Amino acid sequence: MTRTRVGIINVTGYIGVDLARILFRHPQVEVACVTGRSAAGSRLAGVFPHLNAADMVISPELDVPVDVVFSAMPHKASAEACEPLVAEGLRVIDVSADFRLKSRDEYESWYGVQHPCPHLLASAVYGLPEIHRNDIRNARLVANPGCYPTGALLALAPALAAGAVEGDIIIDSKSGVSGAGRSLTLNTHFAECNESVSAYAVEGHRHMPEIRQECRLLSDKVTELLFLPHLIPMSRGILSSCYAKASASWLGGCSRPRAALLDMYREFYKDSPFVRVVDLPPATKHVWGSNYCHVYPTFDERTGRLLVISAIDNLVRGGAGEAVQNMNLMLGFDETCGLEALPVFP
Amino acid sequence: MTRTRVGIINVTGYIGVDLARILFRHPQVEVACVTGRSAAGSRLAGVFPHLNAADMVISPELDVPVDVVFSAMPHKASAEACEPLVAEGLRVIDVSADFRLKSRDEYESWYGVQHPCPHLLASAVYGLPEIHRNDIRNARLVANPGCYPTGALLALAPALAAGAVEGDIIIDSKSGVSGAGRSLTLNTHFAECNESVSAYAVEGHRHMPEIRQECRLLSDKVTELLFLPHLIPMSRGILSSCYAKASASWLGGCSRPRAALLDMYREFYKDSPFVRVVDLPPATKHVWGSNYCHVYPTFDERTGRLLVISAIDNLVRGGAGEAVQNMNLMLGFDETCGLEALPVFP
Amino acid sequence: MTRTRVGIINVTGYIGVDLARILFRHPQVEVACVTGRSAAGSRLAGVFPHLNAADMVISPELDVPVDVVFSAMPHKASAEACEPLVAEGLRVIDVSADFRLKSRDEYESWYGVQHPCPHLLASAVYGLPEIHRNDIRNARLVANPGCYPTGALLALAPALAAGAVEGDIIIDSKSGVSGAGRSLTLNTHFAECNESVSAYAVEGHRHMPEIRQECRLLSDKVTELLFLPHLIPMSRGILSSCYAKASASWLGGCSRPRAALLDMYREFYKDSPFVRVVDLPPATKHVWGSNYCHVYPTFDERTGRLLVISAIDNLVRGGAGEAVQNMNLMLGFDETCGLEALPVFP
Amino acid sequence: MTRTRVGIINVTGYIGVDLARILFRHPQVEVACVTGRSAAGSRLAGVFPHLNAADMVISPELDVPVDVVFSAMPHKASAEACEPLVAEGLRVIDVSADFRLKSRDEYESWYGVQHPCPHLLASAVYGLPEIHRNDIRNARLVANPGCYPTGALLALAPALAAGAVEGDIIIDSKSGVSGAGRSLTLNTHFAECNESVSAYAVEGHRHMPEIRQECRLLSDKVTELLFLPHLIPMSRGILSSCYAKASASWLGGCSRPRAALLDMYREFYKDSPFVRVVDLPPATKHVWGSNYCHVYPTFDERTGRLLVISAIDNLVRGGAGEAVQNMNLMLGFDETCGLEALPVFP
């Protein structure tokens, strides 16, 4: 069997290197090239000793033929890197934010840069498989979702699709520190974020418009979002607690809202191997190191609100694993191929 | 100068032992007696080596004369222990939940036990100094607030008192593990809660009715509460993110809601030395080991919601320190006496 | 292809459940039965939600035919459970301590119980593949090493086998909390062991005689061991820093001791896929969640001591993964089968 | 009463800011000036929100009269800053390494710079109060010890002074991340050092010569040191496990070495309020946030080695608290003044 040849652009960030970890063990692909600017010429295991047993040299550029490319560049640079690859006819999965927002204006306003190739926005597919599985199968360019949007949307999609919520939605998310990337900041210095929790991006986080775009695609009853991310002293994981008013129409037709919710969620995800609807509140540790998402929907009688909690590993399900899931769909592999690893607990 | 003699009933829990830590260094008091059932007869430093330099023997019962008693017993047992002490005319500060809820029915429904001395409920004062300072000064029996209610109420009180919010309020709190106490459970086993975050008490936490009672005392515009606590992998600290609809009346009178909020909060707390209104989102580490509370109020334009975030050390400001603050008020000491220690960072 | 049927006795401890995690995804085996006393009748995913996607019911006893059994019972009970299975001719891998020490007296003195089946001690093979690979291939009963001995022996074996050290050896090990098991104790309560490090078993740990036995088998120049374990605030991982006097004979023949050591170690492990000799000091995070061991040997000129540092994941390489590696050898599978997962970083 | 006026040079590092935290509450001093280069002109609470309740403006230079200066500058720059202050007759406590080593050559070889004012080396006093208390009382310039040396020397001093050990000494230390300072590095990035432990400075750490100098002053039986520091995922604390051969002379005169050791240590520290000789192995959490050091001496029968374990808070006892203890001695205050705070547990 010939393996599909893949390349990873910018392997030296956390999503990039987790792509390497997963793809090195993927039975259908061969990692033909990994690139990194500052580390070019070094061995990957020199930069990341955990890859000692699957080492290769970091290239300055994609310099060998490949069939599929993952770009883990920062935004803007990523679109610039992807454009010629798409033009060449390669399959491209971009883990940056560049092709997630359909509105060029919204992109430029939230990211503060001009979009390098807005003509690709229409054909790029938002790579959340549980919502856009068929489009992903036929895509040339997939925009891998942000980590927070993955958790929030998997929590909310069934209820939105059923018209079960209305009004504004509050999403209170708690993320491990790896979500902030590998750049050095005081906020991610161990001594400062250990034994502490804080909110950030209180005035508006870039993942908000992305969540809002997809929510509105699923339901026109959603007005606005208040999304508040928090930094938690752990390396990996996002827990999202989502609060949304039950719609009058849905609630009117329900005698037992909690049970109805559970059924609605199980039905929605019945063909989605990585989303597990659970009947006890999830912990991020239940999905650590895996591509699984645990979703717990419930109903608060006192306030008439749906409360849905989801747990993901932000670097796998919210990043590298999701990107490989997208690749599997694009290439006709089994959706779970190379992603079967169960979460590591404790 | 004669020092006031104090006793601590049940010193072996986390609030009890933090009371000991603080009171051993309080310049106006002498710790005359500490009690503990299973550890009676042991030296305190045998059970808690951090108290090596201020050791004493743990008594089975309060067996020497004291002027003030702190009860850190579990609920029900605490009320039983406090009743005769109050009858004797001692000043009593109960850190259990027994005298917090004014409604006996509500207490009995949430705690699942009969109240041992409901006749004391009317005269017991809810010990949140920033709201009930004058009543505390004259109280014989103070009900020390729960840790979550302390954080949530300090976040919400100014807005509630000003009639600035209406409808339901969502309180999403994140607590360190010491909040769960010293009892052994899988949920607090290091290997299971480390590198993880989860919600709990999703169907309703016992601190909810306590928060609701005080919110409604402050404002009749509040309908209901959705309070969701989360367990965070840290030892100490509670961060509460509170979401509440701005009232039409308040918003109508405001040209710059954010600035107006900040002014409202600063005015409300101007004579409260332990509450600091801050202009950047707080982290629990900013108050670690201290009696300070940092409060950050802001306004979300998109949803028209107030968002207020507070940070406390759950064992000090949400427990032992608050109890000492109450004692200071009851005895006419300076409110900050023995509580001046600045937070330990990092 | 027919898969080999395996059973896990006592799946509810950390080694047991990590065996389940690995074996559920092992391509050559089928997990036919998992047992657990108190949880019998429950679904495994009810007790361990991370196994949601690979669930099965926990049996009270091994009640279906299997070819291979892993026993993760506590010591003594494990030997009692293994004895009849060995007699039946099954392949048995015991992860308890019962068959590790060749001397019945030493076992009984360190564990304080009578050995249930001392007649099996002679034929049981100490399951450290890098030292006893051939014996393991032919074994019916394998004693899976302790977690500390795995790390310490992989650090020391090449130097011992070469006669490069003499006198006493000091092993200072740092373990994550999962090494203490899933039983509830104050020492493993999050609030007490977080943000702290301490030594324990200062008077002598049960893994010491096990390390000493294997060291002496490798070299008669070793006199005694001082093994001191420490508890570290992390879930998984053991780092062992080993200090041993260079032998006069070895040092005499060496012009460049550091380089010579590195060569010696690389040669010793050249056919061992899971041991990686590294040229920078390892971190336990470099092997997290994997069966790899990183070993770093160096020489301290000032004291004439070898200093060797090893890093393992205590539950995989020091437990479940090592047991599967042993199974692979016993059944003639590729040694790495089912264990290829790369470490998860960060 | 007139308070002594103190200044802190470079308040923006961890030792500097912990000096501020302690000195702001010291009853005998007034913090007249704090300096910081990049943050000059900012409010201290803007940089360090935990100091919100005790704020002041950061100056570019010492610009008001003071009686005592603490320098928390990096090495070399610190000596340059201290020299003129000493010349002016101020009392100076330098927390950098510049005046710790008596040998200029050794300093220049380990730190790789020329010493700016070697003429001050002879009169500078090594500020470990338990060893040099009387010299400190009369010093103009005190060299505050390094954090590792503080822990190691408090562990070893009694045995060294009694001639109870001989040969080489192995010191295996485990430090929290704040010991690495506030500069940003990958090693201190939360995602990389959380859930991990590693050794560093394997070829030789700058604190080694400092420990060796003081050990040799105490005993001429010590030959060499092997000091190996480890990075532990916690913010504060150092645990040092020290291994040293019992001297033949001491062991010969001892019928019960463990009891004799305990007596020897208790006697040595009987007038030292901050060192507590404990009879169970200490945890760093037992001294968290305080100036206390817990020391546990024992004897290993199998190897004939003394094993002494000490626990400190690296920023207080190993830094700012120790510096204030030195100031207290220099100014004739009570040695414990301003340092009475008990450790914060849990």
pLDDT > 90: percent of chain B: 98
From the list C192, C225, C226, the residue facing D346 with the nearest CB is C192
**Pair of tokens at residue A210:** 């992305």
pLDDT tens track for A144-200: 999 999 999 999 999 999 999 999 999 999 999 999 999 999 999 999 999 999 999
- Do residues B193 and B123 both lie within one domain? no
Query: What is the C-alpha separation between A269 and A10, in angstroms, rounded?
Result: 33
pLDDT tens track for D230-273: 999 999 999 999 999 999 999 998 899 999 999 999 999 999 99
Q: What is the CA radius of gyration of chain B?
A: 20
Size of interface A-D (CB pairs under 8 A): 58
Q: What's the mean pLDDT in C126-142?
A: 98
Q: Do B191 and C188 touch (CB under 8 A)?
A: yes
Residues of A in contact with D234 (CB under 8 A): 194
Per the residue annotation, which of C33, C82, C147, C293 is the catalytic one?
C147
pLDDT tens track for B146-191: 999 999 999 999 999 999 999 999 999 999 999 999 999 999 999 9
Residues of A in contact with C290 (CB under 8 A): 50
Catalytic positions of B are 147
- Do residues D182 and D297 both lie within one domain? yes
Enclosing H/E stretch for C295: strand C293-300
From the list B14, B178, B190, the residue facing C193 with the nearest CB is B190
Q: What pLDDT score was predicted for residue B148?
A: 98
Does residue B41 sit within a domain?
yes
Residues of B in contact with C180 (CB under 8 A): 191
pLDDT > 90: percent of chain A: 98
Q: Do A188 and D185 touch (CB under 8 A)?
A: no
Chain D: closest CA distance from residue C125 (Å):
27
pLDDT for residue C139 is more than 80: yes
Query: What is the C-alpha separation between B322 and B327, in angstroms, rounded?
Result: 9
**Pair of tokens at residue D191:** 């995602």
Chains in contact with D, counting 3 or more C-beta pairs less than 8 Å apart as contact: A, B, C
From the list D176, D184, D193, the residue facing A185 with the nearest CB is D184
Chain B: closest CA distance from residue A253 (Å):
22
Size of interface C-D (CB pairs under 8 A): 151
User: Pairing mode, if any, of strands D29-34 and C198-199?
Assistant: unpaired
- Do residues A24 and A104 both lie within one domain? yes
Query: What is the C-alpha separation between A53 and C238, in angstroms, rounded?
Result: 19
How does the average pLDDT of chain A come out, rounded? 97
For residue B178, what is the domain's CATH number?
3.30.360.10
Start-to-end Cα distance in chain B: 37
- Do residues A158 and A304 both lie within one domain? yes
- Do residues B70 and B165 both lie within one domain? no
From the list C52, C54, C276, the residue facing A278 with the nearest CB is C52
Does residue B228 sit within a domain?
yes
- Do residues D141 and D15 both lie within one domain? yes
For residue B66, what is the domain's CATH number?
3.40.50.720
- Find, among C173, C177, C172, C171, the residue nearest to C195 by Cα: C177
> Nearest residue of D to residue C200 by CA position?
D281
Residue with tokens 């489009």: A135
pTM of this prediction exceeds 0.90: yes
User: Pairing mode, if any, of strands D29-34 and D68-71?
Assistant: unpaired
pLDDT for residue A1 is more than 90: no
- Find, among B24, B120, B8, B125, the residue nearest to B72 by Cα: B8
pLDDT band at C206 (very low <50, low <70, confident <90, very high): very high
Chains in contact with C, counting 3 or more C-beta pairs less than 8 Å apart as contact: A, B, D
Dump the DSSP string for A98-146. Answer: TTT-S-HHHHHHHH-S--S-GGGTTT-EE--HHHHHHHHHT-SEEEPPP
Per-residue pLDDT of chain D (346 residues; tens, 9 = 90+): 689 999 999 999 999 999 999 999 999 999 999 999 889 999 999 999 999 999 999 999 999 999 999 999 999 999 999 999 999 999 999 999 999 999 999 999 999 999 999 999 999 999 999 999 999 999 999 999 999 999 999 999 999 999 999 999 999 999 999 999 999 999 999 999 999 999 999 999 999 999 999 999 999 999 999 999 999 999 999 999 999 999 999 999 889 999 999 999 999 999 999 999 999 999 999 999 999 999 999 999 999 999 999 999 999 999 999 999 999 999 999 999 999 999 999 9
Q: What pLDDT score was predicted for residue C1?
A: 67
Does residue B12 sit within a domain?
yes
φ, ψ of residue C38 to 5 degrees: the values are -70, -25
- Do residues C138 and C158 both lie within one domain? no
Q: What's the mean pLDDT in A114-142?
A: 98
Does residue A337 sit within a domain?
no
Per the residue annotation, which of A82, A147, A215, A293 is the catalytic one?
A147
- Do residues B290 and B164 both lie within one domain? yes
What is the domain range of residue A157? 148-314
Chain A residues with CB-CB distance to D under 8 A?
14, 176-178, 180, 182, 184-186, 188-191, 193-195, 233-235
Q: What's the mean pLDDT in C31-58?
A: 96
Does residue C13 sit within a domain?
yes
Size of interface B-C (CB pairs under 8 A): 57
Q: Do D345 and B50 touch (CB under 8 A)?
A: yes
Q: Do C191 and B178 touch (CB under 8 A)?
A: yes
Query: What is the C-alpha separation between B237 and A155, in angstroms, rounded?
Result: 27
> Nearest residue of C to residue D177 by CA position?
C195
Q: Do B50 and D282 touch (CB under 8 A)?
A: no
From the list A172, A226, A286, the residue facing B300 with the nearest CB is A226
From the list D174, D243, D346, the residue facing C191 with the nearest CB is D346
Chains in contact with B, counting 3 or more C-beta pairs less than 8 Å apart as contact: A, C, D
Does residue A336 sit within a domain?
no
Q: Compute the half-sphere exposure of residue B292: CA atoms within 13 Å on the CB side of its CA.
A: 26
Query: What is the C-alpha separation between A21 and A23, in angstroms, rounded?
Result: 6
- Do residues B174 and B129 both lie within one domain? no
Chain D: closest CA distance from residue B18 (Å):
8
Chain D: closest CA distance from residue B124 (Å):
30
* DSSP secondary structure code for residue A57 in this structure: B
User: Pairing mode, if any, of strands A165-175 and A222-231?
Assistant: parallel
- Do residues C195 and C274 both lie within one domain? yes
Query: What is the C-alpha separation between B243 and A35, in angstroms, rounded?
Result: 44
Whole-Å CA distances, A1 to A28, A29, A325, C338, D225 = 9, 10, 21, 21, 59
- Do residues C79 and C155 both lie within one domain? no
Q: Which segments of chain D are extended strands (E)?
A: 4-9, 29-34, 68-71, 91-94, 125-126, 141-143, 165-175, 198-199, 222-231, 238-246, 275-277, 293-300, 305-312
Residues of D in contact with A195 (CB under 8 A): 235
**Pair of tokens at residue D280:** 């169970």
Does residue A345 sit within a domain?
no
Start-to-end Cα distance in chain D: 37
Q: Do B194 and C234 touch (CB under 8 A)?
A: yes
How does the average pLDDT of chain B come out, rounded? 97
Q: Do C189 and B190 touch (CB under 8 A)?
A: yes
Residues of C in contact with B14 (CB under 8 A): 191
φ, ψ of residue C140 to 5 degrees: the values are -95, -35
Number of compact structural domains in chain C: 2
Chain C residues with CB-CB distance to B under 8 A?
14, 176-178, 180, 182, 184-186, 188-191, 193-195, 233-235
Q: Do D182 and A188 touch (CB under 8 A)?
A: no
From the list A172, A223, A237, the residue facing B196 with the nearest CB is A237
How many CB atoms sit inside 10 A of residue B338's CB? Answer: 21
- Do residues D153 and D51 both lie within one domain? no
Residues of B in contact with C194 (CB under 8 A): 177, 190, 194, 233-235
Q: What's the mean pLDDT in C177-185?
A: 96
Q: Do D341 and B340 touch (CB under 8 A)?
A: no
pLDDT for residue B1 is more than 90: no
Three-class SS state of C47: helix
Does residue A344 sit within a domain?
no
